[in-house]
Amino acid sequence: MKLISKVFCLVLPAVLIISCNTSKEKTVDVDAEEHVITVPLFNKDSAYAFVEYQVSMGPRVPSTTPHVKTGDWLVHKFRTYGAQVEEQNFEATSFDGKKMYLRNIIASYAPEKAKRILLAAHWDTRPFADKDNSRKDEAIDGANDGASGVGVLLEIARSIQQELPKGVGVDIILFDGEDWGNDVSFQKPVPLRDGWESWWCMGSQYWGKNPHKPNYSAYYGILLDMVGGKNARFFTEGYSRQIAPSIVKKVWDVASQIGYSNYFVRREGAAITDDHYFVHKYRNIPMIDIIPMDPESDSFGTFHHTHNDNMDIISKETLGAVGETLLYVLYHE
């Protein structure tokens, strides 16, 4: 994704009681009619294993064998977890003239529900390490940049399959072709062609113009990008504040109330051209981006687009903080 510029709707009840056992976590709303909301346990070890397996397949660069095999595995896992799965196949040409065979993967729960929540991440990896000092032409593992968001969403799918959130349907979209973009801070700018608005985020651009369901819409969306790094801090992203301020507030409020304010920091970050931008532009869905852009350094971290983006930087605690926050948001909708 490309840095553009620098630029919280529901809140959990005032009293939040969490009781833990071996299988469930429960919250009790004591301000309204008394009822118990059961939130499935988010297993951070499982999420980590999902990230690790993706990395073990090799870099998921479009049009390569690891990309095809990982895509097939993702479809199989979502179906195993009870989702209705659709695949959206399309072709594109990268900024550097390479033919890309791309695949968006859409997993739906309770597809009959009118009110829908959209969760998304990208599953491809960058084909070169352009920010590294060596092996610049080799594809990166993409443990954080790609696999972490997918790992969290797979564990959410596994967690919700037995008892879905009340009153809403959930769509999980894994966008392809997000990370083969023209980084003009390192690469010569290439004029856009073929109707693309950006060399980044091709999967969300394509889906936005060609949704998997005619006239598809969602109440709101949440995008996960690089959500597994050790000691990660998620500041409020600029476009998210502009197009979905109430969803930003909702998510950061929930994170604070369940003990994750050290991850979800109430400080303004930059605006990033990421998949949420195109989901909003083409489908008018208010969508936020959970992403670790540091407003002081204007960077995603020293691992970004280097060979250091491997399993060594992935934290089960970070994956757990993000996944548990999302589950609480869904089940308190």
pLDDT along the chain (333 residues), means of 10: 38 35 41 72 98 98 98 98 98 97 98 97 98 96 98 98 94 98 93 96 98 97 98 97 98 98 96 97 98 88 96 98 98 94
Q: What is the pLDDT of residue 33?
A: 53
Q: Which amino acid is at 242?
A: Q
C-alpha angle with apex 195: 237 to 191, nearest 5 degrees? 80
- The predicted pLDDT at position 14 comes to 34
202 phi, psi to nearest 5 deg? -70, -35
H/E segment holding residue 46: helix 44-56
Q: Any idea how long the chain is?
A: 333
CA 97 – CA 220 distance, rounded (Å) = 35
CB-CB contact of 271 with 5 (8 Å): yes
User: Among all chains, which residue has been given the structure tokens 């009790």?
Assistant: 28
pLDDT at 34: 58
- Domains of the chain in start order, with CATH, are 2-7+42-331 (3.40.630.10)
Q: Read off the tokens for 1.
A: 């994704």
For the chain, strand residue ranges (E) read 2-5, 19-20, 24-29, 35-40, 84-93, 99-109, 116-122, 169-175, 220-224, 234-236, 264-268, 271-273, 287-290
